[in-house]
């Protein structure tokens, strides 16, 4: 009861009237919480999908930017779950060393990619040439400096924590940054090698959810209680069908199948190249085993349609174990998500746990069974710079000039100019 003179609740039809503010203070029911989470999750899913396609159509450079941002945020999230704030306060250089090793690793990996894919630019620049030719040594010395600093910062009473952080940092660098680096290489080899593996993982996750709630009965693994064997197998079959269809569409556009020889290109400007033989349909002959006397049937299939079987199978049967590994990691540290970078979804790492290993596999498979190795402008320039003396390089230039004049590609005056300007070999 309220005291005399104090403002009490007004009576309306025999019941106390509850103000709107008091209603808002009531705790949400379980249904309302799930509804709000679902709405938030759906909105951010649409935002991510829209951003993904916008970046992909805008050009390779934007995809590389997204992958770089994902690397940094994922590293931050994984490092954070193992941090002990009270210890870090007493060890001010712990976080600095984490970021130093991240920067050194990214310098090494990015440098390797830039030198490999853009030799024709890097190796002819007077400023960049020393960094390119000594890139690995510079990277190693940067790492050694961090290593020496770490040893010098060891503090009595904190050895176990510091060495644990050192090992944890290196594990994060390998599982996140090294693997995602190959996703960047996939993008430079051709947009299809980025988009196809990523889309296979995403659709497989969706198919596994749909099949699981539809006819899933048998638990697949204890780390993820909601995963079922039926959903796992059903998603595998549907992912293969999706892969066949998506590959058939992407192979028709050079923007997807050509290497990124121009980082300024986009879906409107397109790219131009000689397609990899894997995208060119071949004629196959098939004779039905039960109809030996019938005429053989021929059909046209691009070899990529066979390769997609392997990609879809890995995305369905192996890549999910990246998610199971992440689930085990979160259970170890007793956290629900790696972070809160994406509202309704958790952290970036929660969404990328399967993508890292899938991108790594896609690069290894492409380099082993699909890539066509031939002489490139950058490769020839690298060989000439590193394997020939200056006088021999001059002779190569003169020889190429003579060849081009003979073929009618350049005027004879160009050759005369080169002969007059370039010194003769002694």
DSSP structure string for 265-298: --TTT----PPPGGGS-EEEEE--TT-TTSPPEE
Whether residue 71 contacts residue 106, with contact meaning beta carbons closer than 8 Å, is answered with: yes
Range 284-298 average pLDDT: 73
Q: Which of 102-106, 132-136, 299-303 has the lowest mean pLDDT?
A: 299-303
Joined tokens for residue 384? 């000439």
Is 113 within 8 Å of 184 (Cβ atoms)?
yes
Q: For the chain, what is the total number of helices (H) and then of strands (E)?
A: 19, 6
Around Cβ 378, how many Cβ atoms within 10 Å? 18
Distance (Å, whole) CA 27 – CA 200:
40
pLDDT band (50, 70, 90) for residue 383: confident
Q: How confident is the model at residue 62 (pLDDT cuts 50, 70, 90)?
A: very high
Distances (CA, A) of 210 to 44, 48, 234: 20, 21, 9
Closest of 194, 190, 193, 262 to residue 52, by C-alpha: 194
Instruction: Name the phi and psi angles at 134, rounded to 5.
Output: -115, 25
Distance of CA 134 to the CA centre of its chain: 27
Find the DSSP H helices in 59-156.
60-81, 85-90, 93-117, 119-122, 128-133, 135-152
Tell me which DSSP letter residue 410 carries.
S
Whole-angstrom distance, CA of residue 54 vs CA of residue 41: 20
Give, as one character, the DSSP assignment of residue 163.
H
Can you give the pTM of this predicted structure? 0.82
Distance of CA 193 to the CA centre of its chain: 10
Handedness of CA 118, 119, 121, 127 (dihedral sign): positive
13-22, 28-37, 91-100, 231-240: the lowest-pLDDT one:
13-22
285, pLDDT greater than 70: yes
Listed residue (165, 155, 183) closest to 97, CA to CA: 165
d(CA 231, CA 204): 10
- Rounded to the nearest integer, the mean pLDDT of the chain is 85
Q: What is the pLDDT of residue 12?
A: 47
| Those residues with Cβ within 8 angstroms of residue 416's Cβ, 6 or more apart along the chain or in another chain | none
CA distance 163 to 108: 23
- Which is more confident, 254 or 94? 254
Distances (CA, A) of 411 to 145, 403, 421: 54, 11, 16
Distance of alpha carbon 400 from alpha carbon 385, whole angstroms:
16
CA–CA dist 191, 249 (Å, integer): 13
CA pair distance 356, 338, nearest whole angstrom: 15
High-pLDDT (> 70) share of the chain, %: 88
Residues 393 and 404: their CA atoms lie apart, in Å, by 17
- The torsion angles phi and psi of 88, rounded to 5 degrees, stand at -60, -30
- Integer Cα distance of 386 and 62 in angstroms: 33
At 243 the pLDDT is: 96
Neighbours of 72 (CB within 10 A): 16
CA distance 146 to 107: 14
Average confidence (pLDDT) over 289-308:
81
In order of 55, 221, 265, 345, the CA distances from 337 in angstroms are 26, 19, 37, 8
């Amino acid at each position: 009861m309220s005291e005399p003179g104090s403002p009490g609740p007004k009576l309306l039809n025999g019941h106390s009237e509850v103000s709107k503010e008091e209603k808002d203070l009531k705790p949400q029911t379980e249904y309302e919480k799930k509804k709000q989470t679902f709405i938030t999750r759906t909105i951010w899913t649409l935002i991510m999908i829209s951003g993904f396609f916008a970046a992909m159509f805008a050009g390779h450079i934007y995809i590389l930017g997204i992958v770089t941002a994902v690397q940094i945020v994922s590293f931050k999230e994984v490092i954070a779950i193992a941090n002990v704030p009270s210890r870090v306060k007493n060890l001010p250089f712990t976080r600095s060393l984490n970021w130093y090793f991240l920067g050194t690793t990214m310098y090494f990996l990015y440098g390797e990619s830039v030198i490999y894919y853009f030799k024709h630019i890097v190796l002819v620049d007077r400023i960049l040439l020393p960094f390119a030719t000594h890139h690995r040594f510079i990277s190693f010395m940067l790492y050694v400096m961090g290593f020496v600093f770490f040893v010098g910062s060891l503090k009595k009473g904190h050895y176990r924590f510091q060495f644990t952080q050192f090992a944890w940092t290196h594990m994060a660098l390998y599982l996140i940054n090294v693997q995602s680096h190959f996703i960047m290489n996939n993008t430079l080899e051709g947009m299809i090698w980025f988009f196809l593996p990523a889309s296979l993982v995403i659709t497989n996750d969706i198919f596994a959810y749909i099949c699981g709630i539809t006819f899933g009965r048998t638990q697949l693994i204890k780390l993820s209680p909601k995963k079922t064997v039926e959903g796992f197998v059903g998603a595998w079959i549907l992912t293969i069908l999706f892969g066949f269809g998506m590959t058939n569409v992407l192979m028709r556009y050079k923007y997807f199948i050509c290497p990124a020889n121009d980082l300024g290109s986009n879906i409107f400007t397109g790219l131009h190249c000689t397609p990899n033989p894997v995208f060119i349909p071949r004629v196959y002959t098939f004779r039905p085993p039960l109809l030996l006397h019938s005429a053989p049937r021929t059909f046209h299939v691009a070899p990529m349609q066979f390769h997609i079987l392997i990609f879809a199978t890995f995305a369905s049967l192996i890549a999910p174990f990246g998610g199971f590994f992440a689930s085990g990691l979160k259970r170890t540290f007793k956290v629900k998500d790696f972070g809160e970078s994406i509202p309704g979804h958790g952290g970036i790492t929660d969404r990328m746990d399967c993508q890292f290993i899938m991108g790594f596999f896609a690069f290894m498979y492409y380099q082993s069974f699909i890539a066509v190795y031939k002489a490139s402008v950058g490769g020839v320039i690298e060989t000439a710079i590193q394997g020939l003396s200056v006088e021999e390089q001059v002779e190569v230039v003169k020889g190429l000039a003579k060849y081009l004049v003979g073929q009618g590609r350049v005027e004879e005056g160009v050759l005369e100019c080169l002969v007059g300007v370039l010194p003769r070999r002694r």
